[in-house]
Amino acid sequence: MSNAIDGLVSGLNTTDLINSLMKVEAVPQGLLKAKVTTSQNLIAALQGLNSQISALGDLAAKAAKPAGLDLYSSSSSSPSVTTSVSAGAGAGQLDIVVGALARSQIGVSAAMTAWPGTPAVLTIVSGAVSTEISAASSSLDDIVTAVNASGAGVTATKVASGVDAGGVPQYRLQFSGNATGAASAFTVYQGTKAEVTAATAPNLLTAPGAAVIRAAQDASVTLWAGTPAAQIITSSTNTFSNLLPGVAISVSAVSTDPVTVKVARDDAQIGSIASGLVSSLNGVFALISTKSVVTNSTNAAGAAVLSPGIFTGDSTVREAKQKILTAASAPINGHSPSEYGISITKTGTMEFDAAKFAMALAKDPATVKAAVTEIATRVAAAAKAVSDKYDGQITAKITGQQSTVKDLGTRIEAWDRSLATRRATLQSTYTALETQLSAMKAQSSWLSSQVAGLSSSTSNG
């Protein structure tokens, strides 16, 4: 409609005129939209800071656990003996002599062309467990399939073994235990469980031509070998998990000389935790600092312009930083953390002196570990107060800003409706103006024609 009324009578560019008037009318709405953009940028920045502080809190909480700094490493004097450390380990040393390795059992039957009996039934006995297995037929392939599907803890394999006197191919059945250790030894019988109990079932591994190729065996180590206190310890696997608290020892070869296993406090890991905590703290402080910088620039006229950062002057962010910084740098039992290599700098960040920390830890490990635990505990509490997803300070600020954005959005929508109404009113007004001008022009033309007619009549008379 607006384009249709441009300059019909008045010669005015009505569309441009209305658009210009609407720009003026929309100034308040533009200010609201600018506020929305500013609030959304602040929300995004606060969410990023909140996530980083939350990660700092998680790291600090882990270090603050009672055993968080009870870290140990282990070593062995032989490559055939390896170690791994878990919770509960403590400093210590142990000499062992590896006497045997754990093995699984392997046995083979005598050569045969088919299963020697009908129906094709066998029973595998391992310890106190008997497993009766029925095959689909006397075919050795079916026997193998049935054994492997039985869950008896034994794997069967058909192995070629020449031909019999009549030239018929023969095979042996190899039975391999799935688990190592003496307790995993087994016997294979031709027959049912009842026949095994009645001692009427043939033992396939002791029959003529059959053999136990490898007996099941436990691994064994001797402690304090060569002394009256010598003691043999066995394991069904090649790993011993109970020789030293929190230390698993795995063996891969027998030995004649003692192998020394050592467990010592891992100062490097403890230092790494302390260093990581300081780095995470500085990461939070760096983010706040970066987003609080005021930048200098010039406008089109060459005048100086100062642009504040998104966190500049934000009291919530400032208080959050101070709370975390105080938690990390406050004295511990009257001693400054700087005594342990953890100090605050002039710029308001933290610094970690690895050499100083290592020296203090070596001199008084209990005090230094307690200090790190205390710092971590305070930092974890401060981070939670700031970033808790329910009632953290920054979380509350984010929620407030989101509510503001929602309210501004409602007001902007109201302005959309108001501006639409205003545009329609202006269009209607200018349409009416053109209509009136058109009517006046038509009336003027009629009057002019009447006057011209009167003049012509007078002249003729």
Q: Dump pLDDT digits (tens) for 300-338.
A: 777 877 788 889 989 999 999 999 999 999 999 999 999
- Is residue 454 in some structural domain? no
- CA 375 to each of CA 31, 51, 321: distance values in angstroms, whole numbers, following the listed order: 46, 20, 15
Write down which residue in 214, 232, 255 finishes a domain. 214
| Residue 60 near residue 379, CB atoms below 8 Å | yes
Q: What is the mean pLDDT of residues 72-83?
A: 96
Q: Mean pLDDT, to the nearest integer, of 37-65?
A: 93
Mean pLDDT of 136-146: 95
The reply to whether 404 falls in a domain is yes
Domain for residue 443, yes or no? no
The better pLDDT of the pair 403, 8 is held by 403
- For residue 85, tell me if it sits in a domain: yes
**What is the C-alpha separation between 180 and 101, in angstroms, rounded?**
9
Q: How far apart are CA 337 and CA 281, in angstroms?
A: 14
Residue 352, both tokens: 């970690």
Helix (H, G, I), strand (E, B) or coil at 120: coil
Query: Of 18, 24, 20, whose CA–CA distance to 6 is shortest?
Result: 18
87 part of a folded domain: yes
Confidence label for 455 from pLDDT (cuts 50, 70 and 90): low
Q: Is 210 found in the same domain as 170?
A: yes
Helices (H), 251-392: 267-290, 315-329, 354-363, 365-387
What is the edge-to-edge ordering of all strands in the sheet holding 169-177?
Answer: 154-163, 169-177, 106-108, 211-214
Q: Tell me which of 265, 300, 334 is where a domain ends.
A: 265
The answer to whether residue 18 scores a pLDDT higher than 90 is: no
More confident residue, 139 or 8: 139
Looking at the structure of the chain, the number of domains it has is 3
Backbone dihedral angles phi then psi of residue 221, each to the nearest 5 degrees: -135, 150
- 455 lies in some domain: no
96 lies in the same domain as 52: no
Does the pLDDT at position 2 exceed 50? no
Question: Final residue of a domain: which of 198, 214, 230?
Answer: 214
Q: Which sign, positive or negative, has the C-alpha torsion 44, 50, 53, 57?
A: negative
The answer, yes or no, to whether the previous bond of 208 is cis (omega within 30 of 0) is no
151 neighbors 179 (Cβ within 8 angstroms)? no
Identify the pLDDT of residue 424. 85
Do 95 and 240 have their domain in common?
Answer: yes
Q: Do both 124 and 261 map to the same domain?
A: no
What's the CA gap between 327 and 335, in Å, rounded? Answer: 14
| Residue 61, H or E segment | helix 27-64
User: Measured between alpha carbons, how far is 359 from 271 in angstroms, rounded to an integer?
Assistant: 11
Q: 3-class SS at 294?
A: coil
User: Does 195 map to a domain?
Assistant: yes
CB 154, CB 176: distance < 8 Å:
yes
pLDDT number for residue 161: 93
Average predicted confidence (pLDDT) for the chain: 90
Q: What is the pLDDT of residue 300?
A: 78
Note whether 405 and 271 are same-domain residues: yes
Q: Which residue has the tokens 């009318």?
A: 25
What pLDDT score was predicted for residue 444?
76
More confident residue, 411 or 432: 411
Residues 55, 1 share a domain: yes
* pLDDT attached to residue 165: 86
In one-letter notation, the amino acid at residue 413 is E
Q: Do residue 83 and residue 223 come from a single domain?
A: yes
Q: What's the average model confidence in pLDDT over 191-201?
A: 96
pLDDT for position 4 = 45
Which whole number is the average pLDDT over 427-440? 77
Say if residues 349 and 286 touch (Cβ distance below 8 Å): yes
CA distance 210 to 196: 18
Q: Which residues are 244's β-sheet partners?
A: 247
- CA pair distance 134, 118, nearest whole angstrom: 10
Q: Is residue 446 in a domain?
A: no
Q: Residues 50, 394: contact at Cβ < 8 Å?
A: yes
Q: Which two tokens stand for residue 376?
A: 């971590």
Residues 67 and 173 in one domain: no
Residue written as token pair 């210009």: 20
Which range marks the domain in which residue 136 is found? 106-214
Contact of 281 with 342, CB cutoff 8 Å? no
In this prediction, residue 3 carries a pLDDT of: 45
Do 139 and 28 reside in the same domain of the chain? no
pLDDT over 90 at 117, yes or no: no
Going by C-beta distance under 8 Å and a sequence separation of 6 or more, which residues neighbour residue 117? 138, 190, 191
Average pLDDT over residues 124-144: 95
Q: How far is CA 203 from CA 118, 207, 453, in A?
A: 16, 6, 142
Helix H or strand E segment including 193: helix 193-197
pLDDT tops 90 at residue 188: yes
User: How many other β-carbons are positioned within 10 Å of the β-carbon of residue 303?
Assistant: 8
pLDDT number for residue 17: 82
**Taking a C-beta distance cutoff of 8 angstroms, is the pair 314, 79 a contact?**
no
pLDDT of residue 10: 60
Whether the pLDDT of residue 9 is over 80: the answer is no
pLDDT > 70? residue 461: no
From the number of C-beta atoms within 10 Å of its C-beta (0-12, 13-18, 19+), residue 248 rates as: middle
Res. 438: pLDDT tops 80: no
Q: How far apart are the first and last CA of the chain?
A: 51
> What is the tens place of the pLDDT at every residue in 350-384?
999 999 999 999 999 999 999 999 999 999 999 99
> pLDDT value at position 153?
96
pLDDT band at 164 (very low <50, low <70, confident <90, very high): confident
Listing DSSP states for 382-398 in one string gives HHHHHH-TTT-HHHHHH
**pLDDT value, residue 376:** 96
**Are residue 306 and residue 377 in the same domain, yes or no?**
yes
8 Å CB contact between 46 and 394: yes
Give yes or no: residues 286 and 387 share one domain: yes
Paired tokens of 218: 């436990």
- Put simply, whether the predicted model's pTM sits higher than 0.75 gets the answer no
- Quote the pLDDT of residue 1: 41
Q: Which two tokens stand for residue 263?
A: 């467990």
Considering the domain architecture, whether residues 301 and 426 belong to the same structural domain is answered as yes
- Evaluate if residue 11 carries a pLDDT over 70: no
Does residue 287 register a pLDDT over 50?
yes
